[in-house]
Amino acid sequence: MRMRNERSVRAVFGMLGLAVLMTVGSGTVASAAISDCPAGYSCLWEDSNYKTNGYDWDSANFQLYHTNFRYWDGFYSHPHVNDKVSSLYNNGRVSTAWYYVNSGFSGSFFLLARGSGDGDLGNSIGNAPGGFNDELSSACFSDWC
Ligand SMILES: [Ca+2]
Ligand SMILES: [Ca+2]
């Protein structure tokens, strides 16, 4: 599948942090769920395919960083996302986003370039590597880590 190949290539670049190269073609993966992620935010959903309990609008979103998903206190409030994120999207305006399995930007991590996401952390297909499903506890855009 064309889209799957694009996403695999982008995953490799994402791991290298080459955000500048990531903008080409980012619009081709847009879906109704991703479009619910506000511009300038990274959005996190409990389930795969950019949904929480079947609702694509029900995401936890951060604008600069979030040090501990256990205490989600932003404007876009969501209490259940710690260790439950299964899909996510970086709709930031500028930079790569970093996602960590532990609070305080520690532990294993991966990167998503601006304008990219991963619809299922439960597999290693897409922009995020495998092994991160239901594990994430903090995240930041690269200027704020
Ligand atoms: Ca989950
Ligand atoms: Ca965790």
The domain that holds 93 is classified in CATH as: 2.60.20.10
Ligand 2 geometric centre to CA of 28 (Å): 31
**Calpha distance 8→133 (Å, rounded):** 18
Q: Render pLDDT for 63-79 as a digit per residue (tens, 0 to 9).
A: 999 999 988 754 455 65
- Whose atoms come closest to the Cα of 70: which ligand? 2
**Where is pLDDT greater, at 48 or 30?**
48
Ligand 1 geometric centre to CA of 28 (Å): 25
**Calpha distance 31→70 (Å, rounded):** 28
pLDDT at 27: 41
Ligand 1 geometric centre to CA of 79 (Å): 13
Ligand 2 geometric centre to CA of 39 (Å): 26
Whole-number average pLDDT of the chain:
81
- Whose atoms come closest to the Cα of 81: which ligand? 1
Can you give the residue range of the structural domain that contains 30?
Answer: 2-144
Ligand 2 geometric centre to CA of 136 (Å): 5
Asked if residue 61 has pLDDT above 60, the reply is: yes
Ligand 2 geometric centre to CA of 135 (Å): 4
Count structural domains, the chain: 1
**Calpha distance 106→128 (Å, rounded):** 17
Q: What value does the mean pLDDT take over residues 46-69? A: 92
pLDDT at 83: 94
pLDDT at 78: 60
pLDDT at 122: 96
pLDDT at 25: 36
Sheet bearing 41-45, strands edge to edge:
60-62, 41-45, 87-91, 116-118
**0.85 surpassed by pTM:** no
